[in-house]
Structure 1
Amino acid sequence: MCCTDAALAYVEAHAAWSEANTRPSLGRNYDAFVTRSHAGAARAEFAVEGVRCAACLSAIERGLAEVPGVALARLNLTERRLAVEWAPDAAADVEAIRLRLAALGYAAHPFDPRRPADAEAAESERLIRALAVAGFASMNVMLLAISVWAGSVSDMTPENRDLFHWIQALVALPAAAYAGRPFYEGALRGLRAGRITMDFPITLGVVLTLVMSVVETALGATHAYFDGAIMLLFFLLIGRVLEQAMRRRTRALAENLAALRCETAARIEADGSVRDVPLGEIAPGARVLVRPGERVPMDGRIERGRSEIDASLVTGETVPVAVGEGARVPAGALNGDGALVVAVTAAAGASFLDEVEALMRRALEARSRIMVLSDRATRLYVPLVHAAAALTGAGWLLAGAGPHAALLAAVAVLVVTCPCALGLAIPAVQVVAAGALFRDGVLLNDGSALERLGRIDTVVFDKTGTLTLPEPVLVATAGDDATLGRAARLALSSRHPMAAALARAADGAEPYPGAQEAAGLGVRAVVDGVELRLGSPAFCSAEAQAAAALAAAPEASVICFRAGAGEPVAYPVAQALRPDAVEVVAALRAQGRRVAVLSGDRASAVAAVAARLGVAEWEAGLSPQDKIARIEALGRAGRRVLMVGDGLNDAPALAAAHASLSPVTAAHVSQAAADALFLGRGLAPVLAVLAVGARARRLMMENLWLAGAYNLVAVPLAAAGLLTPLIAALAMSGSSVVVTLNALRARGRPRPAPSLPSGESGPAPAIPAVLVP
């Protein structure tokens, strides 16, 4: 990762901060990790603990908006990453922000890309342990409870019944104390900040039920409700664990971008010597040496040297691009076999790679603000539960009942309305739907994406590596078979992707011995006294043959071969359309969805793909910023966009879209930004993910309605005293079983391979050998 001054200061401040976590105040000495823009505005990023839902997001952002001078506060729910900006002359600083977060009930520390993943793993392990304890205790308490129920209709003596109740207490009380900690801590954190969270009614119901059960047992009453309390925790923890399992959002984003960065650069000094220095010491105008196989450390312009670079950062095109003096190269681009002297044009922190990371961060922050179904249901649920329980207790007291009866009825309402069904309604569907998608070759990264996928009306494709296969193929042959065989054997000695396409025709032959690669030009070998060359048209003196090949296939690239003074041959090479691309696009259009192609590649190549697919809406030569602008424009027009892309230049657009999908061969950053990945060579998973998403969203809504209908029936009965806490717990468990069984319908049935809709005339056109890049 590039070590800019700000980044170095950040690391040092983080270490100091970690050592001083026990201090009551951080003080201004710990502001060193703050970065400043050219306008002087300060920015800091915090990792915030205890964030769970959209309610936390709004509470934090509204709370920080009250701090004088804070201009912007944006929380990424996925990474629990809070970005805060404030004016340089404002009273706000790191200490004021941290204290305000503490007052809101959230602990904060400097953001470390590695720490969220560790915290996520620790939280998952903690929830699984709590679930195991609750499950073990539930089984044992229920066995004892069944014995008491059976004894109540037989000859069990009061002494034996009380003994069984006390044994239940010995099992349930410590188990509930341990297993319920995630809910208790959330409730206490909210109360300290003056907020009522979803954890509060859960905690209240569990604690009151346990306290009442102990009191009833001590008084020798007929009923105790330890089983209801521990079962409640068990079902709620199932939902919490399922939710945690589906929150595998882009933890690898920072690490993937860091893999494209350099820690140092080889700076060329005034005396001509070369010295490796941290990037923070390199200013615009400096000259750096980029050796073969290294990544370009900073944006710049080539002063001397020729090579080929992987320009997929900018265009998405995986075929290396020949560059020479005067060509611009972006930070993170991979240099080929030639040494380059690059004049730096952008300082560290302002490179193209930094812009991509900033675009990604903003897009993910925007998406994290989308409130999902469960969040919307939660915002309505908490006040209704409290109101129902309070009115029940007050009503019984006004009716002349004693405090014991009133409290019993209020607890029954709390238990019967506890959000087991609500907590399982969404995660259960997510898990089942994820399994269905896995059978269709789709790996779901984010369970919340299912709701968004169910509302897609526009599908936007990248071209290279998405509509086409990632590996290039030989479009057409030229010359005789013997010439092709020699060219293929020579291609075995080259690492160039275009040469790899030609090498497939070698039919098991071995490479020529002594072959040498000329940096940025091609590969040569002397065989039987004849020099063989394979590479660029200039390297093989084949400009005329290359022009003729491109005229026949303008969407292709060419690789040339020449044997001694013989006639050179030009072989067009391109990337093939995915086998079912035509059928899938036709099916999407038949479903009434809008289809577009947005690519960073050249116009001729994109036009050829769009024509083959019958897509009239396409654009070429787009930068990552351009793609985001197009996606956002569609969003403002009311469209819900599914972005399908694979390159690093697609990653910001993937994050900005309503939902996103990438092939498993995509760049690591794009995989991290996408909601789901698909396997295989076909595009059929695009249809599968939309179908499963629509079915999953429908089932989520059904589950929420089932949970609501259950409460509409159960709450009046509990409030009327017709449900004891025991029966309420059984009813609550029954509602959880119902929504879980309904969620199983998300499995669906195996879907056949996509075909053209019935309205299309004739069979789908065959994909010929001459394909597009």
Structure 2
Amino acid sequence: MGCCGSGAGLTATLPAARASNEEVLLASRVVADGIRQTDLAVPTIHCGACVRTIEKALGGLVGVESARANLSAKRVTVRWQSNGGPPPFVETLKRAGFEAHLFDVESDKDDGALSELIRALAVAGFASSNVMLLSVSIWSGAEAETRDLFHWLSMIIALPALAYSGRIFFRSGWRALRHGRTNMDVPISLGVLLAFGMSVYETVQHGPHAYFDAAISLLFFLLIGRTLDYMMRERARQAVRSLVRLAARGAFVVQADGTQVYLPVEEIVPGMSITLGAGERVPVDATVSKGDSELDVSLVSGESVPLRATVGATVRAGTLNLTGPLTLVATAKASSSFLAEMIRMMEAAEQGRSGYRRIADRAAALYAPVVHVAAFLTFIGWMVATGDLHNAITIAIAVLIITCPCALGLAVPIVQVIAAQRLFKNGIMVKDGSSIERLAEIDAVIFDKTGTLTSAAPRLVSAEHIDSASLKLAAALALHSRHPYSQALVEAAAGLTPSPVVFDDITEQAGFGLQAKAGAKVYRLGKPSWALASPESIVGAASVALTQNGQWMTGFCFEDKLRTDAAVTVAKLQQSGVRVEIVSGDRKGPVGLVAAALGVPYRSGVTPNEKVARIKSLSAAGHKVLMVGDGLNDAPALGAAHTSMAPASASDVGRCAADFVFLRQSLLAVPLAVSVAREARRLIRQNMALAVAYNVVAVPIAIMGLVTPLIAAIAMSGSSILVVANALRLKGVEGSPASAAPNTISAAAILEAAE
């Protein structure tokens, strides 16, 4: 996965305070030319204000390209220019009030926060129920002496509960104030303490009113909302943890003298020979060099049927070896494996800043100053109007509490998290939360043909009639490409002796083919019009030609099989109002046959640049284009489209360029993803409307003095619960129907169409 860089989270645990430049370099990975990425764990992130503070602090450092905080994963991803050495990430976050350390997957375990929240919730619930019982007696008309006694008893119960349960908010609010900033816990803490302090004053002065019940019940309802929020985000993290558990910790590596040494997975590099016993997980992406076994590949393909693994087969990190011993040759480091890429995509799914989320973030950023000013003006207004200090403070506290933007802060990310989970359960990986929003907007889909609409494993036709020397030569070239036709050539030549030709240099031109030099000879394997010096010398209807110095040697035809449910996929997309077309670099005959079978328009023989031009043409006409492709030649088009998808069998570059990767064979992943994205957009709009309507209605009522602090707490928590409950409705989106039988396009039909 060279284009993706090495994996986040596969580093040693390093303490924050002693994170030297060398340690930061060791824990970082290269993501682009001159750009490195470092992942930091920041356990004290808990709200949108924290996210904005962290991103602003790190974004202002010299050399930092971008900083993105993930609230659910409590992670910060920083990209920085490697030429000047790592900026002081940890020290900067410490000055901003956040403890941080270099992220380690092994240390990303339960941090005890949920247990702390549940204990605080239990204490607050117990205390509030008992104080409420005492308050009922007071409300029933108790005598002054009894009222005073019950006020003192209420204070005795409320004080320890307030200290224990309230520290969730007090600790966060004080940390923010100590570093010269605010967050949503500051006004919450202020409201609770003011209500309690005013009640203590009333009790000492033998006053008729005390709000111990309101103060402790307020904490109880706030903790309900906070606990639900944490549980939803924890569910998003569990999906990542389940993938992490599939990663092997190490493997036995065969040394030059034949001995075996157990190495940690981080020390295994491409080219090493690995022995893998039955029942063990594949540690890194590799190819089988010896042995015959079956693999549980449900992680990669979603298929429950084991896959046969023989010599030459490609195996993915995290898949389980079921039946026999295998010898593997590593093709990628653990940090660049397919499993590591999946983990990164899951972690990134909630980080995206969609348009709706940016609106919510800006609104939440205005929250602290606006709510404090509103509460202060309310206090002044009621003091001027009535002169009643007790009443003015009570109403100001209610305003402080009821205006908490928890619902607004949850409106977008909670839907994005659930949508990403929904897609993941259906074998669709999401790279960025904003991709879901873009997918909901698409009204046109462009499909590549080979490896996308058709199977990623085409079969060479009439291999027995092809000259064995030419087939072996073509297979030796094809070993250096992951194109489906190249893999078919390698498979067809698996039983033959290797070609004696030794190549000096091999390059691949996206969309055209492979070129190699052997002494004075130049070999090309690819599109006939490109491989031949004179296109007029094309022989037959071959899809791939092998040439020497521009002269024809032989041609190859392949049998394509449409992916399962390809026809149903196109029909479902068209029914949803999306236009579909095929844009392929393959020849007119094979492309036209597939297009006719699916009933869609097509363009054949196009170059990568022409694919991009077609997307730009549709975009200029007002269309939002989804590109679905798998090859190296599709990468520019995947990047140019409004959003993009690729199958798991795609090239490394193709998967890196795509916004979504679907792991299963069925193309129904495409309409399912569109359906989920559109439903998520609808729920986000509803949540935004609910959050805005709540504040429009609740704030004026609170300012008018018609809401007590307790009712304000119930209303504020209720709005958050309503938003979460509405987001959970996304789980009700219907999934894909059962897969249809695969369609095969025969070689004879291809030849007939070509003629």
Task: With the length of structure 1 as denominator, give the TM-score of the two structures.
Answer: 0.60
Q: Distance between the aligned counterparts of 2:657 and 2:219, measured in 1?
A: 35
Match of 2:155 among 169, 177, 180: 169
Q: In the alignment, what sits opposite 1:592?
A: 577
Match of 1:98 among 90, 93, 104: 90
Q: In the alignment, what sits opposite 2:691?
A: 704
Tell me if the contact between 1:417 and 1:732 (Cα under 8 Å) persists in the aligned partners: no
**Aligned-residue offset at 1:194:** 1.5
Match of 2:273 among 267, 288, 294: 288
Q: Distance between the aligned counterparts of 2:430 and 2:133, measured in 1?
A: 39
SS at match of 1:45: strand
Tell me if the contact between 2:184 and 2:404 (Cα under 8 Å) persists in the aligned partners: no
Q: 1:118 to 1:392 in 2, by over 3 A?
A: same
Q: Which amino acid aligns with 1:202?
A: I
**Aligned-residue offset at 1:174:** 2.3
Residue by residue, what CA displacement relative to the aligned partner does 1:664-695 show, whole Å, maximum 9, x if unpaired? x799xxxxxxxxxx9xx999966874575355
Q: In the alignment, what sits opposite 2:366?
A: 380
Q: 1:366 to 1:608 in 2, by over 3 A?
A: farther
Q: In the alignment, what sits opposite 1:123?
A: 113
Q: Distance between the aligned counterparts of 1:444 and 1:221, measured in 2?
A: 61
**Are 2:250 and 1:263 equivalent residues in the alignment?**
yes
Q: Distance between the aligned counterparts of 2:132 and 2:393, measured in 1?
A: 24
Q: In the alignment, what sits opposite 1:61?
A: 55
Output aligned runs, 1:487-502, within 5 Å: none
Q: Distance between the aligned counterparts of 1:115 and 1:8, measured in 2?
A: 13
Q: Which amino acid aligns with 2:221?
A: F
Q: In the alignment, what sits opposite 1:49?
A: 43
Task: With the length of structure 2 as denominator, give the TM-score of the two structures.
Answer: 0.61
Q: Distance between the aligned counterparts of 1:62 and 1:203, measured in 2?
A: 25
Q: Distance between the aligned counterparts of 2:435 and 2:628, measured in 1?
A: 30
Q: 1:276 to 1:193 in 2, by over 3 A?
A: same
**Are 2:130 and 1:140 equivalent residues in the alignment?**
yes
**Are 2:273 and 1:276 equivalent residues in the alignment?**
no
Q: 1:447 to 1:61 in 2, by over 3 A?
A: closer
Tell me if the contact between 2:454 and 2:561 (Cα under 8 Å) persists in the aligned partners: no
Residue by residue, what CA displacement relative to the aligned partner does 1:409-444 show, whole Å, maximum 9, x if unpaired? 43343244345765787799999x99x989x99999
Q: Which amino acid aligns with 1:118?
A: D
**Are 2:615 and 1:634 equivalent residues in the alignment?**
no
Gaps of 5+ in 2: 1-5, 457-493, 496-541, 543-558, 603-625, 747-755
Tell me if the contact between 1:418 and 1:732 (Cα under 8 Å) persists in the aligned partners: no
Q: 1:259 to 1:407 in 2, by over 3 A?
A: closer
Q: In the alignment, what sits opposite 1:730?
A: 711
**Aligned-residue offset at 1:313:** 12
Bigger drift between 102-111 and 173-182 goes to: 173-182
**Aligned-residue offset at 1:698:** 4.2
Q: Distance between the aligned counterparts of 1:752 and 1:421, measured in 2?
A: 23
Tell me if the contact between 1:385 and 1:417 (Cα under 8 Å) persists in the aligned partners: yes
SS at match of 2:364: helix
Q: In the alignment, what sits opposite 1:109?
A: 101
**Aligned-residue offset at 1:633:** 3.0
**Aligned-residue offset at 1:161:** 2.0
**Aligned-residue offset at 1:188:** 1.5
Q: 1:236 to 1:751 in 2, by over 3 A?
A: closer
**Are 2:236 and 1:249 equivalent residues in the alignment?**
yes
Q: In the alignment, what sits opposite 2:539?
A: none
**Aligned-residue offset at 1:308:** 9.1
Residue by residue, what CA displacement relative to the aligned partner does 1:283-311 show, whole Å, maximum 9, x if unpaired? 77x66366687887777889x77979989
Q: Distance between the aligned counterparts of 1:347 and 1:79, measured in 2?
A: 26
Output aligned runs, 1:58-457, within 5 Å: 58-84=52-78, 86=80, 90=84, 92=86, 96-119=88-111, 122-151=112-141, 156-247=142-233, 248-253=235-240, 256=243, 259=246, 263-264=250-251, 266-269=253-256, 273-276=258-261, 278=263, 288=273, 348=333, 353=338, 356=341, 360=345, 364=349, 367=352, 372=357, 375-395=361-381, 401=387, 406-419=392-405, 452=437, 455-457=440-442
Q: 1:322 to 1:36 in 2, by over 3 A?
A: closer
Tell me if the contact between 1:53 and 1:375 (Cα under 8 Å) persists in the aligned partners: no
**Aligned-residue offset at 1:267:** 3.7
Q: 1:606 to 1:422 in 2, by over 3 A?
A: same
Q: Distance between the aligned counterparts of 2:708 and 2:584, measured in 1?
A: 60
Tell me if the contact between 1:42 and 1:88 (Cα under 8 Å) persists in the aligned partners: yes
Tell me if the contact between 1:393 and 1:407 (Cα under 8 Å) persists in the aligned partners: yes
Q: Distance between the aligned counterparts of 1:446 and 1:142, measured in 2?
A: 49
Q: Which amino acid aligns with 2:690?
A: N
Q: Distance between the aligned counterparts of 1:188 and 1:382, measured in 2?
A: 14
Q: Distance between the aligned counterparts of 2:337 and 2:136, measured in 1?
A: 67
Q: 1:139 to 1:437 in 2, by over 3 A?
A: farther
Q: Distance between the aligned counterparts of 1:125 and 1:377, measured in 2?
A: 31
**Aligned-residue offset at 1:172:** 2.6
**Aligned-residue offset at 1:184:** 1.5
Residue by residue, what CA displacement relative to the aligned partner does 1:321-340 show, whole Å, maximum 9, x if unpaired? 99878x99887788999999
**Aligned-residue offset at 1:388:** 0.4
Q: Which amino acid aligns with 1:634?
A: A
Q: Distance between the aligned counterparts of 2:316 and 2:601, measured in 1?
A: 32
Output aligned runs, 1:622-771, within 5 Å: 622=630, 632-635=639-642, 657=659, 689=676, 692-693=679-680, 695-718=682-705, 723=706, 727-730=708-711, 733-734=714-715, 737=718
SS at match of 2:710: helix
Q: Distance between the aligned counterparts of 1:232 and 1:697, measured in 2?
A: 28
Tell me if the contact between 1:307 and 1:322 (Cα under 8 Å) persists in the aligned partners: yes
Q: Which amino acid aligns with 1:592?
A: G
Tell me if the contact between 1:131 and 1:238 (Cα under 8 Å) persists in the aligned partners: yes
**Aligned-residue offset at 1:125:** 2.0
Q: 1:145 to 1:34 in 2, by over 3 A?
A: same
RMSD across aligned positions (CA): 6.2
How many equivalent pairs are there?
A: 612
Q: 1:176 to 1:767 in 2, by over 3 A?
A: same
Tell me if the contact between 2:65 and 2:81 (Cα under 8 Å) persists in the aligned partners: yes
Q: 1:35 to 1:176 in 2, by over 3 A?
A: same
Q: Which amino acid aligns with 1:733?
A: I
SS at match of 1:78: coil
